[in-house]
């Protein structure tokens, strides 16, 4: 269990972009931030590791990294594998280095696009443009590791991705409800169609019954006979009385 001080520190790191923990996380090596060039995975703030791992790597890639690094996470389910990789991404080790190489290769195109940004404002502008186009993962990696990106900009990227995940989750839930409704609807429609068809047949039979309109001279079919009082006459001239 986390003590109260650690919990307060974690909450401040979540909501205050300029806040830095005064104490290292258990088992984490303190790595100096690279002042020149782009940031590496283990140099990012701890709160950024979860969205980076979760959005920039798919499950197959996580399993591949786990098998090559031979750590216990490869025997876990998807969530526990994610947690294990996130816990290892905060320090420089064989896993975080493999992930760093994978992300650099996978998102080289977006990293190249963000090279044109020479200021924090330009990084934020490029991030907004890519976010509006739905290009989240590559743009997030390029923006978070950009040397000109400030703590405020990194926090903005984090906040945008966090809220986007909620919207996606709500949309998927709505889609599932809609699909379930569509799957049930044909059954209800078929039953209703059968009921309507039976009611229509009964109504037709009542209306065309010979006992309903005695004396009527409207020709109505009823079991091969007509309302003229005899068998159906062959086509031809009909004598009207």
Which tokens go with 145? 């590791």
Task: Please tell me the predicted confidence (pLDDT) of residue 70.
Answer: 72
* 162 or 192, greater pLDDT: 162
Q: Is it the case that residue 222 has pLDDT exceeding 60? A: no
Task: Please tell me the predicted confidence (pLDDT) of residue 143.
Answer: 97
Write a three-state SS string for the chain.
CCCHHHHHHHHHHHHCCCCCCCCCCCCCCCCCCCCCCCCCHHHCCHHHHHHHHHHHCCHHHHHHHHHHHCCHHHHCCHHHHHHHHHHHHCCCCHHHHHHHHHHHHHCHHHHHHHCCCCCHHHHHHHHHHHHHCCCCHHHHHHHHCCCCCCHHHHHHHHHHHHHHHHHHHHHHHHHHHHHHHHHHHHHHHHHHHHHHHHHHHHHHHHHHCCCCCCCCCCCCCECCECCCCCECCCCCCCCCC
Q: Is it the case that residue 16 has pLDDT exceeding 70? A: no
Which tokens go with 233? 């006459």
* 143 or 192, greater pLDDT: 143
Q: What pTM was computed for the model?
A: 0.59
pLDDT tens figures, 142-190:
999 999 999 999 999 999 999 988 877 777 677 777 777 776 665 555 5
Q: Which of 5-19, 27-41, 120-134 has the lowest mean pLDDT?
A: 5-19
Q: Is it the case that residue 238 has pLDDT exceeding 50? A: no
pLDDT tens figures, 19-47:
444 343 343 444 444 446 899 999 999 99
pLDDT tens figures, 197-211:
666 666 656 655 545
C-alpha 15/C-alpha 2 separation (Å) is 18
Task: Please tell me the predicted confidence (pLDDT) of residue 196.
Answer: 62
Q: Calculate mean pLDDT across residues 52-72.
A: 86
CA 213 to chain centre: 64
């Amino acid at each position: 269990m986390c003590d109260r001080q650690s919990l307060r520190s974690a909450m401040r790191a979540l909501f205050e972009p300029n806040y830095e923990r005064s104490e290292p996380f258990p088992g984490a090596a303190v790595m100096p931030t690279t002042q020149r060039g782009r940031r590496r995975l283990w140099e990012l703030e701890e709160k950024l590791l979860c969205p980076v791992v979760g959005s920039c790597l798919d499950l197959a890639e996580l399993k591949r990294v786990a098998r090559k690094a031979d750590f216990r996470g490869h025997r876990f389910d998807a969530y526990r594998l994610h947690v294990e990789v996130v816990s290892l991404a905060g320090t420089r080790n064989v896993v975080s280095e493999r992930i760093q190489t994978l992300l650099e290769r996978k998102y080289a195109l977006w990293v190249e696009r963000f090279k044109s940004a020479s200021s924090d404002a330009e990084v934020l502008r490029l991030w907004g443009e890519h976010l509006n186009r739905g290009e989240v993962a590559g743009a997030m990696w390029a923006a978070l590791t950009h040397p000109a990106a400030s703590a405020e900009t990194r926090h903005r990227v984090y906040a945008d991705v966090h809220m986007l995940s909620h919207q996606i989750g709500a949309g998927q839930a709505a889609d599932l409800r809609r699909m379930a409704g569509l799957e049930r609807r044909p059954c209800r429609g078929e039953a209703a169609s059968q009921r309507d068809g039976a009611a229509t047949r009964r109504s037709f039979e009542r209306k065309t019954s010979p006992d309903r309109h005695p004396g009527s001279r409207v020709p109505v079919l009823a079991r091969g006979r007509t309302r003229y009082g005899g068998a159906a006459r062959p086509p031809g001239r009909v004598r009207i009385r």
